[in-house]
Each structure stands twice: as C-alpha cells, then as structure tokens.
Structure 1
Amino acid sequence: MYDILNLYEEYYDSKNPLVCLDEKPKQLLKDKRKSIPMKPGNPEKCDYEYVGNGTANVFMAVEFKAGKGVTQITERRTMKDFAQFVKILVNENYSEAEVIRLLRVISISIRKSHSTKHSAKRKQSGSWTR
C-alpha cells in the first residue's frame, strides 16, 4: 500500500503520467409514475418507485495531478471493452507519453479491495505493452 502512496507523492511528469482506472456497473432506472410539476408555493412531487431499465458499465480514468479525466460508457463489462478503453487512452489521450503508469483498483472476494500497478509502454508502431 505504501508503494502506491509513494506514487502520488512523485512530481508530475507528462511523459510518464500516473492514471487511475476504475470501472463500475450501473443499473439504469426510470420513473414508474410521472412527477407532479412544481407550482408557486408547492415543490415538485416525485414518487420513490422505479422500474429497472437495463444495465450499463462506466469506465473511468483520472490523472489527478494533471486534472484530467476520461469516461466511457458501454453496454457490457467485458475484457474486450476494457482493452478498447485502454487503447483509446493510449492512442488518443496519452499519445505523447513515453510510459503510462496505470493504477487499477480490483475487487476480490477475499479482500474488499487492493490495487495493482501496470505500466503501458509505447512502441514505434503506436501499440502498447504491459
């Protein structure tokens, strides 16, 4: 854990950015009944009941020291979707970087969460490796 905290203490380097990644599935909801619009002296009235309307996945990447963030919403949460998100980060958002240090939070059943550190190095062809 202290290794990860030490990463946050490093000075900002645009050629070697530290990018934190996370992903989260979200349930999509819609109202069961229409709300009653507000009128002078009366606030809008909304019912608490809802209807499930499918699911979506949110991929997020944040580079805190640069104040940058990237978000992508997908229908699924597959390894292919994750790989495409990382490819977009490498080729579009961090194309000038020499090494992109990715910090990803992974949830597992034994521990509540722990972090792993990955590095993505640019090749001449524009692809990346870990």
Structure 2
Amino acid sequence: MKKTWCISTLDSRFIAQMEQVLWVYALPYDPAYPVICFDERPCFLIGERVDAMAMQSGQVRREHYAYEKLGSCALLAAIEPLSGKRLAQVHAHRTKREYALFCQALAEQYPQAVKLRLVQDNLNTHNPSAFYEHLPAVDAFALAQRFEMIYTPKCASWLNMIEIEFSALARGCLHQRIPTQEKLEREVLTLVAEREARGVKIDWQFSLETARHKLQRHYQHLNPDLYASQCRKT
C-alpha cells in the first residue's frame, strides 16, 4: 500500500495564479458576474462477481471482496459557491466535445449574467478552442464571450472549490460499486439535486491575506532584496 501526491512549485507563476483565484473568491455575490468552479473526474464502473448479501436490521451491507471492472466514465461538475447552484453531467468520455457541451449548458443556466467567471485547471481541453472545434464559429465566439476563464496553478486542485463538492459526492454515492454509467448518472444527479435543494453552499476560508501570511517565505524568495529593505525600514 502506498500514498502518492503531487507537490506544487511555489514560484512566481503559481503565486500570481493563486492570488487571482483568491481575489475572485473574495468578491461579493454578483448575479451578473457569478463565480463558478468547474472540474471533471473519472469514475470507474465496478460490478459484483458475487451478489451482495441482503441487508438485515442492525447490520451493515455485506459484499464479496471480488469485483469486476466494467470500464469508466467521466463526471463533469460545477458549483457556484455563494449561491449553491450546481450543474453535473456524466459522459462516456471527457474530451473537448464534452467540455463544450457542458459550457453550453452552464451558460444556459445563467441567461441574465453578463460574464461567468469560471475557475478551472489548465487541462488542455479547458479553453475556448473546444467551442470552435464543435460549434459553428458564430456560436463558438458567442459562447466564449460568456466566460472569463480563471485558471488555478498547476498541481493545485485544492484551490478549486469544486473539489469540496466532489468529496461530498464521493462520500454520498461514488464510494459504492456502481456497474453502469446510467446508474452512476442517476445516483450523482439525484444527490446533486438534493444538495442544491438544501441550499448547501461552500464557506471558503483561505483568503489572500492568509496566503500571504502562511506562505510568507515563498513570497520573500521571489524578491529577497525587496523584503530585506522592508525589514531594515521596520
């Protein structure tokens, strides 16, 4: 058994992108410019080799250790943290086509918004070029104008609030063995609808000021002469 993780390089590019994300998160709620967090994740389809034992009162569900791999699919999801509004789709693949379809659906959810501030990672499919590869140029341009793309730093998924929602979905339904894409879609969309109906929002605590304090030595490393002169003045 092993643990794996990815360590970010906290260079000037990382700091600049992180500060942009945190600044956007701190903006007051504005329905004309909603802040929306988006990402996608793979979901593996797992079937039973032996039927699970029927549940009895006072006992947990029992399932055989053996399972069957039945492929995978992709969950694309977005959340507006300040309103609790959500959108989720399940697709067989996660290419530029699925990204374009999702962004179309997302834009349709906000017909009155001037610009959707979309926080996402730097995956090569996450940009307006996807629109032009799957829509007429006029429609692709119009869709691109609806979005302001805001990218998290490389290897910094923790800065994207949709990961908090993914964690809740994993605990709520994705932890179990689900054999088909259709069933997984039903489970996910039902849970997403329930969480939206309950008005579940995200209270983000990591602010720009907190970042500058906790990561102070990384800021100092970017411009040591400046920090040295500031220390002499104080």
Q: TM-score, normalised by structure 1?
A: 0.78
Query: Residue by residue, what CA displacement relative to the aligned partner does 1:3-62 show, whole Å, maximum 9, x if unpaired?
Result: 211111110000100111101111111111111213466554211221011211110011
Q: Are 2:166 and 1:129 aligned?
A: no
Query: Per the alignment, do residues 63 and 40 of structure 1 end up closer, same or farther by CA in structure 2, a change over 3 Å counting?
Result: closer
Query: Residue by residue, what CA displacement relative to the aligned partner does 1:46-105 show, whole Å, maximum 9, x if unpaired?
Result: 112210112111100110011111100011111011111101111x21111001111102
Match of 2:74 among 35, 41, 57: 57
Q: Residues 29 and 52 of structure 1 are in contact (CA less than 8 Å); yes or no, is this contact kept in structure 2?
A: yes
Report percent identity of matched pairs.
27
Query: Per the alignment, do residues 85 and 117 of structure 1 end up closer, same or farther by CA in structure 2, a change over 3 Å counting?
Result: closer
Query: Per the alignment, do residues 58 and 40 of structure 1 end up closer, same or farther by CA in structure 2, a change over 3 Å counting?
Result: closer
SS at match of 2:106: helix
Q: Residues 16 and 99 of structure 1 are in contact (CA less than 8 Å); yes or no, is this contact kept in structure 2?
A: yes
Q: In structure 2, what is the equivalent of residue 35 of structure 1?
A: 52
Return 32-41 or 77-86, whichever deviates more.
32-41
Considering fraction of residues, name the structure with more strand.
Answer: 1
Amino acid at match of 1:105: D
Q: In structure 1, what is the equivalent of residue 37 of structure 2?
A: 20
Considering fraction of residues, name the structure with more helix.
Answer: 2
Match of 1:106 among 119, 122, 144: 122
* CA RMSD after TM alignment: 2.6
Structure 1 unaligned segments of length 5 or more: list them.
109-115, 119-124
Following the alignment from structure 2 to structure 1, what is the Cα–Cα distance between the partners of residues 120 and 58? 49
Q: In structure 2, what is the equivalent of residue 80 of structure 1?
A: 97
Query: Per the alignment, do residues 40 and 27 of structure 1 end up closer, same or farther by CA in structure 2, a change over 3 Å counting?
Result: closer
Structure 2 unaligned segments of length 5 or more: list them.
1-17, 129-138, 146-234
Q: TM-score, normalised by structure 2?
A: 0.45
Q: How many residues align?
A: 116
